[in-house]
Amino acid sequence: MHANQTLPQGVQPGEISFVLGHPDRQALPIEALHEAAMLALEEPLRPLEYGPEGGDPELLAFLRLWHRQREGLDLARNQAMLIAGATQGVDLVARLLLAPGETVLVESPTYKDSLLIFRDQHCKLHGVKMTPEGIRPSDFETAIQDLTAQGERPRLFYTIPNFQNPTGWSTSLARRKTILKIARRHGILILEDDVYREIAFGAEPPASYFALAGGEGVIRLGSFSKTLAPGFRLGWLLAAPAIIERIQACGTAQMGGGANPFSAAVVAAYCRTAHWEDHIQRLRSIYRTRCETALAALARHMPAGVEWTRPQGGFFLWITLPESMETANLQDRFAVRGVRVAPGAQFCTPPEAGVRCFRLAFSFASLDQLKEGIRLIGEALAEG
Ligand SMILES: Cc1ncc(COP(=O)(O)O)c(C=O)c1O
């Protein structure tokens, strides 16, 4: 198959890009998806016509089974729907459940495209500092109290609990439980963006906020982008039935006939025939090796004073430079060496909190590119 002919969005010819969290091309199950597409077209009306508002029933049934088998999570039919990627889920929640001007609590740093969506919907953002075990419950509570005292009671907490983008850190089970209690006490909805859950290098992630909450007060997003292929633009949203109903009643859901019926039919055919468990184990091994390679190269090439995270899963590393350096001033030095990273400020709330940081995606570049690119970053930093 033609896996290497084109460059993905944002990657220039000849450069080593650690900017975007694209899946490794070797991780795309191209042959199996080819077969799945042929199989889906054997019943051509289903993928080619509008579908039900909630999405393809066979794929939803597979997702309910998957959550039961892997997490012991029983989902009712009216607690799950398909969406056009987790990103659309963030957009739907911000657009339909928040009023313009309402305040959203976010981890700082966090996934920058979600920040863009909240800004698009005219939400105010308030960052709570991330740590290796997630945000501190005491920081969360203080932020809520301070904002409430200023007449800005927050409505939503957006979190990436597993192998967070951009730090790679996960929120511990103990913190999830305490944060959930605090959120409940203050009537704050939790939006749990869980797209990296399956990309665990070691132990399985703890129970989701959604499971801990018994499905009330939490909306959870999942995606096929990181495990199958981002081009499907397909994910799922789990929530209380009243929220699912509200979302399915919106104009785009009513007209759209469910998220991406063609993609959903192909993915459903893949799920019917393929071996998910083997595929997931293969992905874990691919990304674990990449992460280990990146960590070894950082240990070898970073000058004193540079710090980095040690993720247990996912696609990203977060790097913090010494006090004397700012990422913005280094971009030219990286560029002449043909290396690109994602500057930290865009992930942070406020942005100033990230000026000494950058994100390094280890998911897409080859092992040789990881070694060479990190050597070149070390060389640029050593210039002082
Ligand atoms: C935290 C997070 N959520 C969502 C997405 C995008 O997911 P999707 O392709 O399902 O929209 C990404 C991709 O980088 C991500 O890191």
pLDDT digits (tens, 9 = 90+) for 259-284: 999 999 999 999 988 788 899 999 99
Quick one: DSSP state of residue 79? G
Ligand 1 touching residue 195 (CB < 6 A): yes
Cα 376 to Cα 306, 332, 337: the distances in Å are 15, 13, 7
User: How would you classify residue 162: left for phi > 0, otherwise alpha for psi between -120 and 50, otherwise beta?
Assistant: beta
Residue keyed to tokens 């963006």: 193
Q: What is the phi/psi pair of residue 220, to 5°?
A: -115, 135
Q: Following DSSP, what letter does each residue of 336-369 receive, concatenated?
A: HTTEE-EEGGGGSSSGGGGTTEEEEE-SSS-HHH
Residue given tokens 């959870």 in the structure block: 220
Strand order in the sheet with 307-308: 307-308, 316-320, 357-361, 342-343
111 lines ligand 1 (CB under 6 A): yes
Say how many C-beta atoms besides its own lie within 10 A of residue 225's C-beta. 20
DSSP state of 134: B
Cβ–ligand 1 distance for 110 under 6 Å, the answer no
Alpha-carbon gap, residue 211 to 199, rounded angstroms: 19
Ligand 1 site, residue 223, Cβ cutoff 6 A: yes
**Which of 227, 173, 219 has its CA nearest to residue 195?**
227
Ligand 1 atom 8 nearest Cα: 85
**Which pLDDT score is estimated for 13?**
80
Is the CB–ligand 1 distance for residue 54 below 6 Å? no
Cis amide bond preceding 206, omega within 30 = no
pLDDT by position in tens, the chain (length 384):
344 567 776 777 889 999 989 999 999 999 999 999 999 999 988 899 999 999 999 999 999 999 999 999 999 999 999 999 999 999 999 999 999 999 999 999 999 999 999 999 999 999 999 999 999 999 999 999 999 999 999 999 999 999 999 999 999 999 999 999 999 999 999 999 999 999 999 999 999 999 999 999 999 999 999 999 999 999 999 999 999 999 999 988 888 778 999 999 999 999 988 788 899 999 999 999 999 999 999 999 999 999 999 999 999 999 999 998 998 889 899 999 999 999 999 999 999 999 999 999 999 999 999 999 999 999 999 987
CA distance 171 to 245: 30
Which segments of 150-235 does DSSP mark as H helices, in order?
A: 173-185, 209-212
Whether the CB-CB separation of 357 and 341 falls below 8 Å is answered with no
Query: φ and ψ at 147, to 5 degrees?
Result: -65, -40
Q: How far is the CA of 303 from the centre of ligand 1 (A)?
A: 32
Distance, CA 87 to ligand 1 centroid (Å)? 6
Q: What residues contact 384, with CB distance under 8 A and at least 6 apart?
A: none
- Predicted local distance difference test score (pLDDT) of residue 255: 80
Residue 5 confidence (pLDDT):
60
Task: Quote the ligand 1 centre to 194 CA distance (angstroms).
Answer: 9
The pTM (predicted TM-score) of the whole model is 0.96
Q: How far is the CA of 19 from the centre of ligand 1 (A)?
A: 14
Give 154's contacts (C-beta < 8 A, 6+ positions apart).
Answer: 102, 103, 104, 105, 126, 143, 144, 147, 148, 186, 188
Check if 160 has its Cβ closer than 6 Å to any atom of ligand 1: yes
Structural tokens at position 198:
């399956």
Q: Is the CB of 194 inside a 6 Å radius of any atom of ligand 1?
A: no
What would the DSSP string read from start to end of 230-295?
GGG--EEEE--HHHHHHHHTSHHHHHHTSS-HHHHHHHHHHHHHS-HHHHHHHHHHHHHHHHHHHH
